[in-house]
């Protein structure tokens, strides 16, 4: 392709050759979501939708480009271990040789940095949000793991939890310019618009769920609202189809009187072109499910159950990647502010994660893969030995019978760190440096 006309934000320029376009991509001036003029349909379209330009945005052996694959990790509710999974997932990909950047996209409750043992990030998303830094690449932080970097969120900052539209668009543009093979978005819990939009832009959409009724219910609801938002976006030029999507029976919480299949049939009767787009959207929307904190084989059935419900009611194929066992070693890793795959590489949870990454996400199978997985585990263990330890209790208050509350305290642990005030030195240090 030659004589391309490009559009970045509101600025149009061209014509440019394919070689010039490649240079613009390499220097970060043009991204997949920016637009190219299509003469065949006489309008601007996203560059990622132009088949002839696909290779421009992906890494090829030896040419210095990045694959730029975005993983979004979400959950219908908090407390399911989403961030804990994200940190170990990032470590796993990095130890395979990929250049990985983890992005804390939970603007209202950032905590990915603490999972990596970083209490005082040099830069946070606030520096980008407040325009002190022009690009996300300028706030990327190193981690103790080779090939693994991160962008820290800004916990405890007013206004940042709800960025304005132009701020969100700027974030999305810059996200596609990050210098990485894999970008992991650790999203906020729940179904806020920011979370949904970031989830939908990802190449791989991962939902973390526990085998508890509330988590299952909220995970199903999250998938539903993401699908409805995607359908509304794709059908925006078809008012009759949008009117069908707006029906109360599908949008009311707690009720599924109409399935997505019912809506698809109604759209087909009204508009064949809209029907094709509707159907293509359903086929292309394939989120992936990870079941966390699994205690027994009965829990695993919950993953299969929601997979069936999503297919029956939403007409969407939910890929059940597998599960991570409920493991005390994970809880200990959280307390140590360390990814569990490094804190306890031999634990059941770490082995489950190994299978999820290599088989579920990367599709590596067969006898040869069994040998490769064993070799990789040894590689991870070597990283674990080199990972720096963080002594959080060095200056902690020591529990003693001399304490005024000794007789009434239910956490008595004479000689150990006070279980009520053990984080006090850390919090004091943070308060003095922020």
- Backbone CA torsion sign across 419, 422, 423, 427: positive
Supply the pTM of this predicted model.
Answer: 0.77
Closest of 418, 356, 368 to residue 393, by C-alpha: 418
Comparison of pLDDT for 407 and 297, the residue scoring more: 297
Helices and strands (H, E) in the chain, number of each type: 17, 12
Please tell me if the domain spanning 4-57 has the same topology as the one spanning 69-386: no
Determine contact, residues 398/378, Cβ cutoff 8 Å: no
**Nearest Cα to Cα of residue 32 among 69, 62, 87:** 69
Mean pLDDT of 283-292: 95
Q: Among residues 25, 18, 126, 32, which one has the least CA distance to residue 70?
A: 32
Q: What residue has token string 């059941």?
A: 348
Taking the chain, what is the end-to-end CA distance rounded to the nearest angstrom? 51
The Cα–Cα gap between 98 and 66 comes to 10
Whether 111 has a pLDDT exceeding 70, the answer reads yes
**What is the average pLDDT across 288-308?**
93
Q: Is the pLDDT of residue 256 over 50?
A: yes
Model confidence pLDDT, tens digit, residues 371-404: 777 778 887 888 888 887 766 556 667 777 777 6
What's the pLDDT band for 278 if we cut at 50, 70, 90? very high
User: Cβ(416)–Cβ(398) under 8 Å?
Assistant: yes
CA 324, CA 355: separation in Å to the nearest integer? 10
Q: Which one of 15-29, 77-91, 356-370 scores highest in mean pLDDT?
A: 77-91
Q: Report pLDDT digits (tens) over 403-426.
A: 767 777 766 676 676 765 555 555
Structure confidence at residue 396 (pLDDT): 64
Name the least confident of 49-63, 72-86, 229-243. 49-63
Nearest to 278 by CA among 230, 239, 318, 246: 230
Give the Cα separation of 133 and 431 in Å (integer): 23
| pLDDT of 296 higher than 90 | yes
Q: Taking 60 as the threshold, does the pLDDT of residue 65 lie above it?
A: no
- How far apart CA 414 and CA 275 sit, in angstroms, is 69
Domain boundaries of the chain, sorted by first residue:
4-57, 69-386, 392-434
On average, the pLDDT of the chain sits at 83
Residues 214-228 have a mean pLDDT of 93
Q: What pLDDT digit, counting tens, does each position of 135-163 carry?
A: 899 999 999 898 999 999 876 565 566 77
Q: Quick one: pLDDT at residue 415? A: 67
Q: Which is more confidently placed, 95 or 433?
A: 95
- Which fold does the domain 4-57 belong to in CATH? Dna Ligase; domain 1 (3.30.1490)
Q: What is the pLDDT of residue 394?
A: 61
Residue whose entry in the numeric block shows the structure tokens 């939890």: 161
Count of Cβ atoms closer than 10 Å to residue 214 Cβ: 12
Contact between residue 45 and residue 35 where contact means Cβ atoms under 8 Å apart: yes
Q: What is the pLDDT of residue 268?
A: 94
Cα separation of 88 and 7, whole Å?
Answer: 38
Those residues with Cβ within 8 angstroms of residue 262's Cβ, 6 or more apart along the chain or in another chain: none
Find the mean pLDDT for residues 56-79.
72
CATH number, domain 69-386, options 3.40.50.300, 3.30.70.260, 3.90.420.10, 1.10.260.40 = 3.40.50.300
From the centroid of its chain, how far is CA 98?
17
Question: Where do we find the tokens 């209202």?
Answer: 108
Model pLDDT, residue 308: 93
Over residues 8-47, the pLDDT tens digits come to: 877 888 788 887 787 777 656 677 778 888 887 788 888 8
Q: Is the pLDDT of residue 64 over 50?
A: no
Lowest mean pLDDT among 36-45, 76-85, 139-148, 351-360: 36-45
Closest-CA residue to 175 (of 135, 226, 122): 135
In sequence order, the β-bridge partners of residue 204 are 71
Q: What would the mean pLDDT of 281-301 be, rounded to a whole number?
A: 94
Buried b (16+ CB within 10 A) or exposed e, 6-45: bbeeeeeeeebeeeebbebbeebebbbbbbbbeeeeeeee
pLDDT at residue number 367: 66
In the predicted model, what is the mean pLDDT of residues 237-261?
79
Strand partners, 319: 288
Task: Provide the CA 231 distance to its chain's centre, in angstroms.
Answer: 21
- Percentage of the residues of the chain whose pLDDT score is greater than 90: 41
């Amino acid at each position: 392709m030659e004589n391309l006309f490009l559009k970045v934000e509101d600025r149009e320029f061209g014509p440019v050759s394919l070689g010039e376009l490649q240079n613009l991509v390499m220097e970060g001036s043009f991204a997949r979501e920016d637009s190219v003029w299509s003469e065949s349909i006489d309008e601007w379209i996203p560059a990622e939708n132009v088949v002839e330009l696909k290779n421009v945005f992906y890494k090829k052996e030896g040419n210095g480009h990045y694959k730029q694959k975005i993983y979004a990790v979400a959950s219908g509710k908090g407390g399911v271990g989403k961030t804990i999974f994200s940190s170990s997932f990032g470590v796993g990909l990095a130890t395979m040789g990929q250049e990985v950047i983890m992005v804390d996209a939970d603007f209202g409750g950032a905590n990915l940095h603490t999972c990596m043992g970083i209490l005082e990030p040099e830069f946070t998303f606030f520096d980008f949000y407040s325009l002190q830094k022009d690009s996300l690449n300028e706030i990327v932080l190193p981690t103790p793991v080779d090939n693994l970097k991160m962008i820290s969120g800004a916990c405890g900052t007013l206004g940042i939890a709800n960025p304005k539209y132009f701020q969100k668009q700027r974030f999305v543009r810059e996200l596609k310019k990050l210098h990485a093979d894999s970008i992991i978005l650790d999203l906020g819990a729940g179904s806020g618009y920011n979370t949904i939009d970031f989830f939908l832009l990802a190449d791989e959409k991962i939902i973390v769920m526990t085998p508890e009724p509330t988590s299952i219910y909220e995970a199903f609801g999250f998938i539903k609202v993401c699908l409805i938002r995607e359908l509304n976006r794709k059908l925006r030029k078809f008012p009759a189809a949008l009117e069908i999507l707006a029906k109360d029976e599908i949008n009311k919480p707690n009720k599924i009187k109409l399935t997505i299949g019912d809506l698809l049939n109604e759209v087909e009767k009204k508009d064949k072109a809209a029907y094709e787009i509707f159907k293509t959207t359903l086929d292309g929307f394939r989120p992936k499910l990870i079941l966390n904190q699994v205690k027994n084989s009965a829990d695993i059935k919950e993953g299969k159950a929601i997979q069936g419900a999503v297919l029956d009611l939403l007409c969407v194929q939910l890929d059940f990647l597998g599960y991570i066992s409920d493991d005390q070693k994970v809880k200990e890793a959280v307390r140590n502010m360390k990814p569990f795959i490094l804190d306890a590489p031999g634990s059941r949870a770490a082995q489950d994660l190994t299978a999820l990454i290599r088989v579920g996400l990367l599709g590596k199978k067969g006898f040869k893969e069994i040998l490769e997985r064993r070799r990789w585990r040894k590689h991870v263990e070597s990283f674990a030995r080199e990972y720096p330890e963080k002594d959080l209790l060095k200056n902690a208050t020591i529990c003693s019978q001399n304490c005024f509350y000794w007789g009434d305290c239910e956490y008595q642990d004479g000689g150990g760190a006070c279980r009520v005030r053990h984080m006090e030195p850390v919090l004091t240090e943070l308060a003095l440096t922020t």
